[in-house]
Each structure stands twice: as C-alpha cells, then as structure tokens.
A and B are shown apart, each in its own frame.
Chain A
Amino acid sequence: MKRSRYGWLRVVGIGVLLLWSLFPVYWALNTSLMTNAQAQSSPPSFFPTHFVFSNYEAIFGFGPSSASTAGGIGRALLNSSVESLGATVLTLVLATIGAYAFARLRFRFQGFLFYVVIATLTLPVYATLIPIYTILTKLGLVNTYLGIILVYTSGFLPLAMWIMYNMFQALPASIEEAASIDGATTLQIFRRIVLPIVRPGMAAAAIITFLFGWGQFIFPLVLGSTNSTEPLTVALSALSGRHVVPYTMINAAAIVAIAVPAVIVFFLNRYIVDGIVAGSVK
C-alpha cells in the first residue's frame, strides 16, 4: 500500500506549501491589528495581543489617524472593482464569442489567426507598456476607467479565449446539431444549449481574469495618474510617505486587497470543478 506508507509525506508537503503561501498573509493580518509601536517591537509578536481596528478605520478615512491617509482607500477599492469587473465582463463576452467562432466556424486563415491570438500570451507585457500609453494618450483615454478596462481586456483575452476554445472543442458538435434538428435557431442553440454547458469554463475564465485585473500594478500606475482611477494596488504603495512608512496601515490595506479575491475564489471555485459535460454523449 504505497498510499498509506507515504501518506505522511503528502501531509508534510501540503503543510509546507500552505505555510509557505499563507504565512505572509497571516503576518499581514497580524500586523494590521497592531499599533505601530507594537508592530515595531523586538522581538516581534506572533499574535496580536489586543486587537486594534484603528488601522482599518484609518485606511477608510475614519478615526483619529485618518488625516494621514487623505480620504482613505475607499475610492481605490471602488476603482479596483470597476476596472477588474469591467475587464472581466468585456473579456468574457469577447472570449466566448471569439472562441466559439474559432471552434465552430470555418474561415480562411482560421488556424493561423488562432495561433496568432494565442501567441500574444508569450509577449512580455512590459514591451507593450509604452506603445499602449501612446495609443491611449492619442485616444484621450489615459486616466479613465474605459482606457484601463480596454488595456486589461487586450491583455487577458488570449488566455480566456484559450480556456473557452477548449470548452467548445470538448463539446460534441452533435449536441448542437441535435438542437438545430429540435428546431432551435443559432441564437437559441447558443443561449439554451451551448452557454449553460460551458458555464464552468466561463466561471474559470472569469475568475482568472478578475484576479489578474485585481493584481495589476504597473499598467494602472502608468495609465492612471490620479485618485480617480488608481486601484488598490497603486494606492497601497502610495501609503508609504517619504519619511514614515505606516506598516500597520499598509498591512490593513493589503488584507482588504486580498479579501475580495479570496471571497470570490471561495464561493465560485465549485464552478470550475463542476464536471457538467460528463455523460452527455455515449
């Protein structure tokens, strides 16, 4: 019985992995619940001795120490949400329609075009930063939600499209043919048959796109220069002043930044593993 003999190895391996990835998060949470003095004490405290919520109040612009954060990160949270969600919706719509076309229609240079789209995944994104900035400037879209959403979408579309393409490829054409024989129009087939079946793929693509969007830093830093479009990531780094670095507040903001995607993954994860197509054929 290999499994039981090496079972402890698996447990240890998973434990190390969890510790490795979760400890920094724990440390951020820990620090966010301390006062600055506690946080900088030596030796460091591994547990918050008494919970202090003033950091959270401060970053949202409440409480006595709010002055230092100039209005708080509420706006940044909104910006992050609008930009990530906007990019997710746009990416998902384009990826689904585009991938369906690539998977089902036959047109000239189809294979070549598809590989060109997918190949853009290998481009180093920073190579496109300056050209994109120039283009957005010309279009007057610098420092706008629309500009940032368009840039995100262009960056995330290939991966989302690849995910959706694989979903459509795995879906037997005969299911759609059966629907057309049942009397469904192309639109009805897409809405009532295809979309419900590929929903797990759409959920996966949406989650990935949203998380990517949420974590962007360089692009919004360059493309959005004021509070009006700055996402959390950028606002977070802006919290550190020239002379003082408010560790506890930065950590509180980081926890807020992590909480949103964590909650999303927690609740939507099941869509990714939902093996809904199994058993449709044969």
Chain B
Amino acid sequence: MASIDIKAINKVYPNGFHAVHDLSLSVADGEFMVLVGPSGCGKTTALRMVAGLEEVTEGSVQIGEKDVTVLPARERDIAMVFQNYALYPHMTVGQNIGFALSLRGIGKAEIDKRVKEAADVLSLTEWLDRKPAQLSGGQRQRVAMGRAIVREPAAFLMDEALSNLDAKLRVQMRAEVSRIQRRLGVATMYVTHDQTEAMTMGDRVAVMNAGVLQQCDHPQVLYDSPQNLFVAGFMGSPAMNLYEAGLGEGATSMRLGSQRLNLPAQVVSERPGLGAYAGRKVVVGFRPEHLELARANGAGQVLNVETELVEALGSEQLLHFKIDARRIHAPGVDEDEEVANSTSVGVARIEPQDQVKVSERVRLSVKVESMHFFDPGSGDAIRA
C-alpha cells in the first residue's frame, strides 16, 4: 500500500495535442480520489500516465517511495479497472481473477484460495466457471473489480468503471466500490465525468477542465466554495444559477437584470475582495436550494420571477423559472443557445407542498449570505 504522487505531469500526444497541463495531485494512502471533468478534458490521459500505459511527456509520477515515471505498467504494482472491463474472453471468471497471481508464480492452491476470497467479496462465487460472454454487464464489472482486488496492489486506478451499467445498478455499485475500497485501504484514483459519482464516492475530488486541474478538495468544499466559475457550474445538480450582475457603489447592493438586491455588510466583510468590484460587473451564483418561495410576511431579499416548469420529485420540487437577468454559462459546461438572451432560466428547489402554477409570477427569497461571486473576466471566485 502506498500513496500516489503526481508532480506537474504533461501529456503532448504525437499529433501535438496538449491533453494534460502541469497536473499535480497527491493521493494519500487509503484515500479515494475522484478525477472528474467534462468529456475530453484529459482524465483518462492522466490516469493512463499513472498506470504506465501512456508515456509521460513531462513531470513525474511516484507510487509509494518509488519514482515510476518511466517504469512499464507491469512493474508499477497497480491494478486498473477499464471502462469496457477488458476481461480476457477465453478465460473463465476464476482464471480472469487469478491471472495476475499465476503470472507471479504463486501456487495453485494459494491462487484458488485468494480467487475464492475475492469472489466472495463480490458475490461472484457461483459464476467462477463461466466465461465473460455468459455474464451480465454488472457481473462483468464485478469480475473486473475482482481482478483488481485479488492482487492487493499499491494503488487502484479506475476509468469510468461504472458508466456502462444501468442507472440503478450504478448507484448500487457506487456504494459497493466505496465499501471495498475502504475495506482494503488502497490509494485509489477514480475517473468519471459524472459529478454525482464524484460527490458521493470521493474522499477528495479533483475537477479538471481542458487538461488543467481546476480545484481539488473534499466534495463539500468544492460544492460550498468553488474556486472558479467552472467548478461552480460543474459540481451540483441541478447546476448553480449564474447571472451577470452589476455591483452598486460601495458594494451595498447589486443589480440583477431589472431587479435590485441589497447586500448585507456581512456579505462584503466575508469577501473583502468584493469591495474592489464596486460599480463594476460580476458574476453572481446561487444554488437552487438557496432560493425558496417568499412567504407573504417574510422579510429578506426577494426576486420576482416567472415560473416555467415544475418538476415534482417527491421529496422536493424543482421550479424552473425565467428571470430578466443575463445567464452566464461556466466555460466548458453545457453550452446552450440562449446565452445572450436578456431573460433566462434558473432553477429553485422548493418544498414538496408548495403550490405553484406554470406561467405565474412568483417571488423567491434569496439566501444572500450563501451567494457566490466571480470575476467575469477570469472566472475566479471573488473572496479575499
């Protein structure tokens, strides 16, 4: 068991494409690190460099005390789960799981014992004599896991290990994978493009975009204090509402489309950097749960919006609304066509018992203290 230390690695593909830029990341022994980002951002490339399947153009990779940057994959003592599972089609489940052990010259009895243990953990015992072609997708996924855990490697690498499963099984296997990883206590790098998976599974989550690491922290920290527009827009579902806003003189108020919100002194004192933006444009963000239907007698800050669609999810309702403020799209996250529209949509999480009709004007109260502010140019969060 060991940690993984990635130091400023770069990948330039032979065709000149620079897929990963100066990525530095440390995965502590036993830690579950999720690497998340939109498709094509370089997650797989980064993982493959750690695995030794892709040459590192620049930088170094260390596993435990050993610099493995130029070691071939087979000498790195890592296990990897591939998105397509990459099972050996001509071998039985048992042989698939035991292959790595047989290469190490371990005796048959010992291999059988360890394969059986791994199969037990993954409830695969009754399939040990089957070929991969005779298994369901979920069973194949577990065989791929079995192949990884039987080895007791220094590190686990998983590339979209669950994305070929159907939604229900995926949720189930998330917990399963987390449970096994915690039990074995092996440093794990887990790649996914699914931010829910990242939030639920990661001890820490590294968000990447366009080959560049955006932020790496505990999931709740990413959610509560995104360092830039990209992380703000990427983490969370439904996504954070982001609008262009004009900060008033003295930063005591804010103009959002045709409406005005007062900024309590606390907001500015907690974000001293905001003072410099007085009289200028900023990007303001609030999470759907920081909006609620304003009570008739309620005080606080209120936005007038027009309801567009209500989705009842049982435990809550998602209220999609229109507001006459310019919506900002985080770079790289879902690009819609209505970016330039003066009125745009937003989402609020409201109580399940709230009665709202479509195409109605309602008032939403905003939890101003929880708002996020970003520089419209750089996209960086405005804090200190």
Contact = CB atoms under 8 A, between A and B. Distances in A.
A195 to B, nearest CB: 10
A191 B254 CA distance: 69
A30 B116 CA distance: 61
Interface in B85-104: 85-90, 99-100, 103-104
Given A181-B51, A184-B103, A188-B103, A282 B89 contact: no
Contacts of B40: none
Interface stretch (B18-26, B129-137, B257-265): B129-137
Interface residues of B, number: 33
Interface in B49-91: 51-53, 72-74, 76, 78-80, 82, 84-90
B189 to A, nearest CB: 13
Interface in A147-203: 172, 174-175, 177-185, 188, 192-193, 196-197
B104 A278 contact: no
Given A178-B80, A179-B88, A197-B89, A280 B100 contact: no
B310 to A, nearest CB: 38
B74 A184 contact: yes
Nearest to B80: A181
B324 to A, nearest CB: 47
A276 interface: yes
Interface string B131-145: 111110100100000
A52 interface: no
Contacts of B86: 172, 174-175, 177-178, 280-281
A48 B53 CA distance: 68
B164 interface: yes
A277 B86 CA distance: 11
Contacts of A188: 103
A44 interface: no
Contacts of B193: none
A279 interface: yes
A177 B73 contact: yes
A280 B164 CA distance: 14
A177 B82 contact: yes
Contact of A181 (B78, B84, B87, B140): B78
Among A181, A278, A282, residue most surrounded by chain B Cβ atoms (within 10 Å): A181
Contacts of B79: 181-182
Interface residues of A, number: 25
B82 A277 contact: no
A197 B90 contact: yes
Nearest to B87: A280
A173 B133 CA distance: 18
Contacts of B135: 279
B104 to A, nearest CB: 6
Nearest to A275: B133
Contacts of A180: 52-53, 72-74
B137 A279 contact: no
Contacts of B372: none
Contact of A276 (B72, B74, B90, B100): B90
Given A178-B147, A181-B80, A183-B100, A280 B132 contact: yes
Contacts of A182: 74, 79, 99-100, 103, 147, 151
Contacts of A172: 84, 86
A279 B87 CA distance: 9
Contacts of B137: 282
Given A178-B80, A181-B78, A181-B79, A280 B89 contact: yes
Given A180-B73, A182-B147, A185-B74, A281 B90 contact: no
Contact of B74 (A106, A183, A193): A183
Contacts of A184: 74, 99, 103
B103 A281 contact: no
A177 B54 CA distance: 10
A196 B92 CA distance: 13
A141 to B, nearest CB: 39
Interface string B17-56: 0000000000000000000000000000000000111000
Interface of A: 106, 172, 174-175, 177-185, 188, 192-193, 196-197, 276-282
25 contacts: A174-B84, A175-B87, A175-B88, A177-B53, A177-B73, A178-B87, A178-B147, A180-B52, A180-B74, A181-B73, A181-B78, A182-B79, A182-B147, A183-B74, A183-B104, A184-B74, A193-B88, A279-B89, A279-B131, A279-B132, A279-B134, A279-B140, A280-B87, A280-B89, A282-B164
Interface of B: 14, 51-53, 72-74, 76, 78-80, 82, 84-90, 99-100, 103-104, 131-135, 137, 140, 147, 151, 164
